[in-house]
A and B are shown apart, each in its own frame.
Chain A
Amino acid sequence: MNILIIEDEKKVALALKKGLESEHYSVEVAFTGEDGFFRLCSRIFDLIILDLMLPGRDGTEILGTIRKNGIRTPVLILTARDAVEDKIIGLDLGADDYLVKPFAFPEMTARIRALARRGRTDLATKLTLADLEMDLLKRTVRRGEQAIPLTTREFELLEFLLRNQGHVVTRDMLARDVWKETVRATPLDNVIDVHIGRLRKKLDEPFSMRLLHTVRGVGFILAEKDA
């Protein structure tokens, strides 16, 4: 998957490039709007990550031109302005998703995966990891032969973790996608931690192999690894 990052802040751009490359994406970086637009026209990308606040050619301007020229590549916009208006302008101009700075890197990779998946209908009725199996139709969870009874919230939490298995999930992502929180300032972090603790107790404690891990300072990851 080829990604073009158009971002004037060099440190941010290079950190993103490195991070995405370690996730096996092929990444090009443009530090100016002009350079970005030139690269866009010269080859085909699968995804564009576009900063809205660029010197010279503004991100919204580039986005408008891209869409006017019929380039349909998905665009993920980055904005430091957390104003609703900004997001709306970006989405109106044809962006596919947005991230507000400062964002957590796992959140960006999750968005990229979601954009790459888009259009493909997910027909899976079962999610699995190692001996963990979640039946989405019957709403049941098992580890091996043992059924694990979960509350609705715990089930939704585990489902989200399973869908993002192998990737770090931040508290912000959980608040938004599991708790459906629209305002970032809502103090849900402690609530999330309590639920994770309870889920871990049911999911991992009786078993030898732990699946739910905490990544300090970032979030949680559901993966087959020893901690």
Chain B
Amino acid sequence: MRKENIFKILLTSLFVLVSLNLNAKEAQEETTGKIDTKTGVKEFVDHHLKDSHYFTFFSDGEKGEHYGIPLPVIIWDGGLKVFSASKFHHGEELVELNGNYYKLYHNKIYKTGPDGIIEYGESEFPINERPLDFSITKNVTGMIVVALLMFLMFWSLAKNYQKRSVPKGFSRVLEPLVVYVRDEIAKPNIGPKYKKYMSFLLTVFFFILILNLFGLTPFGINVTGNIAVTFGLALITFIIVQFSGNKDYWKHIFWMPGVPVIMKVILMPIEVLGMFTKPFALMIRLFANMMAGHVVVMSLLGLIFIFQNWIASPAFFGFTLFISVIELLVAFLQAYIFTLLSALYIGMAVEEHEDHPKDHGEDIPVI
């Protein structure tokens, strides 16, 4: 037999074996009623994607114990209330404060009666009152840590330049990145006024980059995959763009020059909508990319536990490694894209338009 045929047969038998094994497992679980691995994996992935009041390192599923650090809970409910999340005992116990009862339910704090019952509305969502939650959750911890890290990194970089013109140590890693953001992102897209916006672009680039990279570590903080965080980042871009918009920017939105009057009226609502869709797309892009990446990595990892055999496990280990490396690329790419598009939008707002000639046409010089 030829080599290729043997390879084909081996490959086919591998797939058959894997699928047979899966079917056998399913049948076994149906009969014995063991804990469903699939549901377990799904819950684990869901839990990983969400924000939490605990910094859990690992959990013992059989004993039902969690090992980690409880984070402070800060709520506003007729006054500021601060206590440790350990009081909730992972949602098993009520917290009583001045006659008010609070319950942790699916990582959200609800106000309940002394019996701790969560009531459901028609849409299957709890209708209990929720206090304003300013807690330092897992995501907030991640952001604070990254902010401190960035401060230390760039403080040492700035210190370095005071002593010598060529930085030493870790600053050598940072310098090319900073120069890259300046020369490849800010200068070509914003133009001569780029200096004013460098601080924002650098901050947003390194903040997103470091958070993305943190998300790939086993700490499992999924900060940039949280839509509230990306909303905040996109909102800052939106505000900066609107406030740096010059006369021409607003003129092009509300009274587009160089088109008939009817078109001016038609274009106005479209341009106004465009003001909002740009940051909206920024928000969705970063959020969806990071969340999708986390889901794929976690699902592939979970497949090892679903199949549980000697053939599938190394294969899925390889897949997970492969996707993780791609995620490393995506972490850089998304930070780059967010900064680049922010710079592009700012550039659109600050661009100096030359006077439009009366007769558009052939006599515009082509450079």
Task: Please say whether chains A and B are actual partners in one complex.
Answer: no
